[in-house]
Structure 1
Amino acid sequence: MKRDHSPVLPGDGATDYARYMRTDTLLDLQRRPEEMIHRDELLFQVVHQSTELWLKLAGAELVEAVARVRAGEPAAAEPLLARATLGVRLVTDQLEMFGHLSPADFKAMQPALGKGSGAESPGWRRVQAASRQLGRAFTDHLAARGITLSTLGRPDPTDPVHRLAEALMEWDERVSLWRVRHYQTALRVGGHAPAGAEATMLAKLIGHRFFPELWQTRLKPADGSVDSSRASRP
């Protein structure tokens, strides 16, 4: 018997896959060949548009993690944060595509970009806001339960709060690595001088942490004093 593959979902597209994934719309979001001033605009748009999609997912996971922490459910927040972190790792990995884009080619396509900048990314702005909310929710969670940061400095893989603290630090680290890769890409492909305004801004952001208090606990032994031997390590 011949199987009926006709779509049953509403919407545009010849198949249910096309209708559910909205592939007609998705694949029409890039500039058409006749609109391009350089063929590598497709590469540039695909990397950035897919970045926005991953950041959209990461932002949604962070928002839900905030809700779970505020509800007193740190164990439920941890896997959500792990998913967001993996999203940023994938965003970082795809920057490798820009290794196939020469500075001359990037300069040739720049007029098509107008005054656009990655700092204007709506996905990144949502992620920033959600990260700050998550930091406040975590701090409030600790305070409500009388948990100190020095306590979190003692490894306890069975404690949901400790595990969430580790996940928060992993998130911070992955975001920092993304910024490092972005900075190097700006120097290599974008033609920015290391001391230029945009490159300098990216360099300053590399050291930013959403949860600096958690990182500080790594510099302190159990008695709360600063361990200078650890603090001096890179």
Structure 2
Amino acid sequence: MCPHAPSTTPSTTSTSPENIVIEEKAQLDFSQSMSYGDYLQLDAILGAQKPRSPAHDEMLFIVQHQTSELWMKLMLHELHGAIARVASDDLNPAFKMLARVSKIMEQLVHSWDVLATMTPPEYSAMRPYLGSSSGFQSYQYRSIEFALGNKNAAMLKPHEHRADLLALVERAFVAPSLYDESLRLLARRGLPVPQSHTSRDFSKPYEASDDVEQAWLMVYRDPQRYWDLYQLGEELIDLEDAFRLWRFRHVTTVERVIGFKRGTGGTGGVSYLRKMLDVVLFPEIWKLRTDL
């Protein structure tokens, strides 16, 4: 038979209208199996928006912050996985997880574009209904800051009203950060990272070190020899770069919507957020770019 000739064997699958209807009915009946909504718990998620004001725009405000918290949940999942991988010298999976964290931060940067459609009068109409609630109180965001090394004991206080949440944040506060584990990895590889930075009290704010920079300089001056550590350094830079953009977009959106009013949680609002722009998470890897 010519290989291009149509087969004369009857098809076992009929495409008659009757069979298509039967097939569609089979695909549309989820009474005996898990549906899309069941799997994603959409009743709980879509029922979690409870506006407190009569303002039309409050729905935007709620959805913006709820979706951000969902992205932060994934970010913490990936960060914890990456930290554990770095601690066990298993860098390739860590690189994938860190790259995903950077992409999540990019997603969060763009989410501010949606909130920025809220004008000052629209926000003012709903603000009295927020009470003292504030993104400053996000325990997931604080856990991300701690996991990235920005340790500040004062940031535990906003969570003291919930013992369970305080325990989660305290655990992140005392644990080695991603950068701490990266420096410990460099030391295990024989690079001259001082013990003051590998066996320190990890709840204390990180202090930059010329010795740590020299260790990173060895990596960056010989990337072929230290390729995976060199790649780790660049993943950390990607991560902080994305984090800076997220913070900056937060500041500009808040200033656009409320100006320099104090935040609902009692912070200085824009003035506080601007100070956060000066925080450097991985100082030696930034400084070595000047010193190379």
Fold match by TM threshold 0.5: yes
Letter in 2 for 1:177: L
Report the Cα offset of residue 213 of structure 1. 1.8
Structure 1 residues 187-198: aligned runs within 5 Å: 187-192=255-260, 197-198=268-269
Q: Specify the alignment match of 2:39 in structure 1.
A: 20
Asked if the contact 2:259–2:270 (Cα under 8 Å) also holds between the matched residues in 1, the reply is: no
2:271 to 200, 213, 223: 200
Among 60, 63, 66, the residue aligned to 1:49: 66
Within the candidate set 210, 218, 232, 2:289 is matched to: 218
Match of 2:216 in 1: 149
- Residue 105 of structure 1 is matched in structure 2 by 122
Taking the TM superposition and a 5 Å limit, the aligned residue runs for 1:122-201 are 122-132=139-149, 133-147=177-191, 148-154=215-221, 156=223, 159-192=227-260, 197-201=268-272
Structure 2 unaligned blocks of 5 or more: 1-18, 150-176, 192-214
Q: Deviations over 1:105-161 (max 9, x none)?
A: 101110221112222112211212222311110010001112321123337378111
Q: Runs in 1 of length 4+ with deviation above 4 angstroms?
A: none
**Structure 2 Cα separation of the partners of residues 25 and 89 of structure 1:** 27
In structure 1, how many angstroms separate the alpha carbons of the residues matched to 2:186 and 2:108? 31
Give the AA of the match of 1:73: D
- Counterpart of 1:119 in structure 2 is 136
In 1, Cα distance between equivalents of 2:261 and 2:132: 18
Residue 155 to residue 202, structure 1, CA distance change in 2 (3 Å) = farther
What is the TM-score of this pair, normalised by structure 1? 0.84
Count of matched residue positions in the alignment of Structure 1 and Structure 2: 213
Q: Give the conservation status (yes or no) of the 8 Å contact 1:183–1:202.
A: yes
Paired position in structure 2 for 1:77: 94
Q: Report how far residue 177 of structure 1 moved.
A: 0.9
CA contact (8 A) 2:260 2:271 kept: no
Q: In structure 1, what is the Cα distance between the partners aligned to 2:134 and 2:255?
A: 15
Unaligned 5+ runs, structure 1 = 11-15, 222-234
Secondary structure at 1:91 match in 2: helix
TM-score, normalised relative to structure 2: 0.68
Contact residue 186 and residue 199 of structure 1 kept, 8 A? yes
Q: Which amino acid aligns with 1:19?
A: D
Residue 193 of structure 1 and its aligned partner are, at CA, apart by: 5.6
- 1:98 maps to a residue whose letter is L
Distance 1:6 1:154 in 2: 62
Q: In structure 2, what residue type is equivalent to 1:57?
A: L
Report deviation, 1:9: 4.5
Partner of 2:29 in structure 1?
6
- Residues 1:45 and 1:151: Cα distance change in structure 2 (over 3 Å): same
Larger radius of gyration: 2
Q: Are residue 65 (structure 1) and residue 82 (structure 2) matched?
A: yes
